[in-house]
Amino acid sequence: MQDISIIYETKDFLALSKPAGIVVHHDAQHTSGTVVDWLLEKYPEIRGVGEDVGHRMSNRRPMSREDIGRPGIVHRLDKDTSGILLVAKNQRAYEYLKKLFQDGDITKKYFALVVGNIKNDSGVINAPIARSTKYFEKRVVGGKQGRAREARTEYRVLERFPAFGDPISKYGDRISVSGYTLLEVSPKTGRTHQIRSHLAHIGHPVACDKLYGGKLYQCPANLARQFLHAHSLSFAGLDGAKYEIEAPLAEDLSSALESLRTQSP
């Protein structure tokens, strides 16, 4: 399993740095090698923490592999998104942190490199998101009435990279481009693929995002996954303390930025 590191730990929670390429919990395609597997190996006491803990305890039987679920997991990151992941260590902390996320009382900040030059230095994307009726794994702005859920994303520009060189398309050929923009992105709601869907909606998909890039897909040389990193979480803990925890930018993303800085005109 790729290296998962602990950024910060209290008696109530863990803040992990999740590498790209690893999924958070089990699904039909991933039955091992997940963040959950790592957690249960390092912190077996977390096994009983989660939404369905009451049901499992009422069964009064040892939990099998199928009972694992999402112990301690209060939010998630996509497989190819790196960065900070918060995990509750006990049931009280789980319920508290889950509510903070649901109520929008945790400030989340991401770094995203997007295709093209965003005109404004900051902005807000306020557009409902629904599951695509064409591609099950995709989320799109709009959708059938009643199925789309409110979604709000704020962003500000950190750095701009003018067009240069010959980027590679997902089909392996060279394409003309209009550069890149590095953003700090703060989702105010927690919809699946919210940042990726919203940025694609405004015509600036995340760099190297094969699912949402479409005809605007671009990828800096030598970067093998979407440029999206969960940088920080800010919140008030159960103990009343204020926490602002950051995950260092992943090495592959740092290298991509340095390459862009070196080659930009």
Tell me: the pLDDT tens digits for 43-80? Answer: 999 999 997 654 444 444 444 444 457 899 999 999 99
Clarify whether residues 58 and 145 are in a common domain: no
Clarify whether residues 95 and 17 are in a common domain: yes
Clarify whether residues 33 and 121 are in a common domain: no
Q: pLDDT grade, residue 265 (50/70/90)?
A: low
Residue 256 has pLDDT above 50, yes or no: yes
**Active site includes 121?**
no
CATH number at 136 reads 3.30.2350.10
Residue 263: inside a domain: no
Clarify whether residues 123 and 218 are in a common domain: yes
Residue 166 has pLDDT above 60, yes or no: no
Q: Residue 119, SS3? A: coil
Clarify whether residues 184 and 174 are in a common domain: yes
Clarify whether residues 112 and 218 are in a common domain: yes
Catalytic residue among 27, 37, 78, 173: 78
- 84 strand-pairing partners: 17
pLDDT for 30: 60
pLDDT for 25: 82
Domains held by the chain: number? 2
pLDDT for 3: 87
Q: Residue 18, SS3? A: strand
State mean pLDDT over 204-231.
95
Clarify whether residues 157 and 238 are in a common domain: no
Clarify whether residues 53 and 27 are in a common domain: yes
